[in-house]
Amino acid sequence: TEMSRAADRLKYLVLLMYLNCMSFSHIKAHILTGRSAQSVSCHHPSAFRYTLDTDVLSPEQRLFYESNGYLLIKNLVSDEDIDKFREEFEKICRREVEVPGLLVMRDIAIAKSEFVPDQKAVSKLQDFQDDPELFRFCTLPQIVKYVECFTGPNIMAMHTMLINKPPDTGKKTSRHPMHQDLHYFPFRPSDRIVCAWTAMERVDRSNGCLVVLPGTHRGTLKQHDYPAWEGGVNKMYHGVQDYSPEHPRTHLVMEKGDTVFFHPLLIHGSGMNRTQGFRKAISCHYASADCYYIDVKGTTQENIEEEVKGIALRKHGLGDDITLKDTWAFRGRLVKGERTSL
Ligand SMILES: O=C(O)CCC(=O)C(=O)O
């Protein structure tokens, strides 16, 4: 009805002003003098910081991402596509296809057991950008359409993963500690980076869904270290030590094909997999090609640089003089637009 539309408009206007850091007395004055949302966004072009002006997101979706740091879109990827990604994953596990640059990771609880060429031994694939079938995920038009709202038109796929969270062996190693993805990235600005994470089956608290701390994307990058877990921690699974345990948590229950887009400063992790199945998700971190590399020397990211360099040394035979930046430059692939900087 006309009334509820007017109420929606008012709600939107108040939130917009609030996000623009206006005080409530200021907002009241604006509304009483009858100034529209249009005039607010014109006079304050910084009203939206985390999203760009496209006609893809509804005002509600934009405001949701601006204040929470994530946005869940239901049913974005078809069953057919997900089944194809799953088949490709299984072929890789059976070693029927060899993918250059691919990192195959094992859960520490199963890594030491006897090797089996089967998905049971694999907890995660990383850097699948040179596998044409899996990389198709990163280029799906319905995903890229949303990505563009965060990155702008020049889009690079910087980091790709297929996560196969194994049934927990009782050591709780299937958990992923709370962290910010920006810890791993030597490029900025963070607001032009976004992750798309698609559930490859129903993902809920029983098999270890994503847990997010809404609004934490408005904070800064925190110190990350290996958590002191009794049962051990997987390689590279650094966690934030000092987040408030009282911060509200949201468990993202998702159906097959649902996709969440989230900011690289959003504190998130995932729970234990208490089922007998391997919980699968596929993800890509995108960045604007206009982003620039930073030197992480002397920052909290130095510890991850050392670790990644070690892997690059062993896996790709690279020398000791490489930096975190070098390990990224050859992994990134252009998805749309022009490769301007990254
Ligand atoms: O899929 C998951 O369990 C969490 C993955 C994640 O947060 C990561 O790998 O950075």
- Ligand 1 neighbour 176 (Cβ under 6 A): yes
Residue 247 inside a domain? The answer is: yes
pLDDT of residue 118: 64
Indicate which atom in ligand 1 lies nearest the CA of residue 208: 3
Query: Does the beta carbon of 285 lie inside 6 Å of ligand 1?
Result: no
Low-confidence ranges of the chain (pLDDT < 70): 3, 9-10, 12-46, 107-120, 230, 318-320
Q: Give Cα 336 to chain centroid, integer Å.
A: 19
What pLDDT is attached to residue 26?
A: 64
Cα–Cα distance measured from residue 139 to residue 248, given in angstroms and rounded to the nearest whole number: 33
- What's the pLDDT tens digit per position in 322-341? 777 777 888 899 999 999 99
> What integer pLDDT is reported at residue 42 of this predicted model?
42
Ligand 1 contact via 234 beta carbon (within 6 Å)? no
Q: Whose CA is nearest to atom 7 of ligand 1?
A: 269
Give a yes or no: residue 43 inside a domain: no
Residue 49 domain flag: no
Q: Among 275, 38, 303, 12, which Cα is nearest to 166's? A: 275
In a domain, 162, yes or no: yes
Is 121 contained in some domain?
yes
- Domain range spanning residue 122? 59-336
- Look at residue 1 and tell me if it is in a domain: no
Count: domains in the chain: 1
- CATH number for the domain harbouring residue 190: 2.60.120.620
Q: Quick one: pLDDT at residue 12?
A: 67
Give this prediction's pTM. Answer: 0.86
Distance in angstroms (rounded) separating the CA atoms of residues 203 and 197? 12
Residue 54 domain-assigned (yes or no): no
Q: Burial code of 295-330, b = ≥16 C-beta within 10 A, e = fewer? A: ebeeeebebbbebbbeebeeeeeeeeebbbbbbbee
Domain annotation covers residue 128:
yes
Does ligand 1 have an atom closer than 6 angstroms to the CB of 181?
yes
> For 264, which DSSP code?
T
pLDDT in tens, 274-299: 999 999 999 999 999 999 999 888 99
Q: 281 CB under 6 A from ligand 1?
A: yes
Residue 18 has what pLDDT? Answer: 61
**Which residue has its alpha carbon closest to ligand 1 atom 3?**
270
Residue 281 alpha carbon, nearest atom of ligand 1: 1
